[in-house]
Amino acid sequence: MELDGPPSARLERCIAGGGVAVFPADTVYGLACDPHSASAVERLYALKGRAADKPAAIMVFSVAALPPLGPRTTRAAQALLPGALTLLVEDPEQRFPLAGGGTTLGLRVPDVPLLANVSVPLLQTSANLAGGADSRRLADVPAAIRDGADLVIDGGELPGMPSTVVDLTRYEHDGVWRVVREGAVGSATLSAALGH
Residues 30-44: tens digit of each pLDDT: 999 999 999 999 999
d(CA 48, CA 43): 9
d(CA 94, CA 149): 27
Q: Which of 196, 195, 184, 155 is nearest to 81 (CA)?
A: 184
Residues 82-130: tens digit of each pLDDT: 999 999 999 999 999 999 999 999 999 999 999 999 999 999 999 999 9
Band of the pLDDT at 2, cuts 50, 70, 90?
A: low
* Fold exhibited by the domain 7-194: DHBP synthase (3.90.870)
Q: What is the mean pLDDT of residues 123-139?
A: 96
pLDDT given at position 4: 78
Backbone phi, then psi, for 126, in 5-degree steps? -70, 150
The Cα diameter of the chain in Å comes to 49
Do 56 and 185 contact (CB within 8 A), yes or no? no
Band of the pLDDT at 1, cuts 50, 70, 90?
A: low
Residue 172 above 70 pLDDT?
Answer: yes
All structural domains of the chain with their residue ranges: 7-194
pLDDT given at position 196: 73
**β-pair type (57-59, 104-108):** parallel
* Amino acid of residue 14: C
Residue 131 above 60 pLDDT?
Answer: yes
Residues 41-91: tens digit of each pLDDT: 999 999 999 998 999 999 999 999 999 999 999 999 999 999 999 999 999
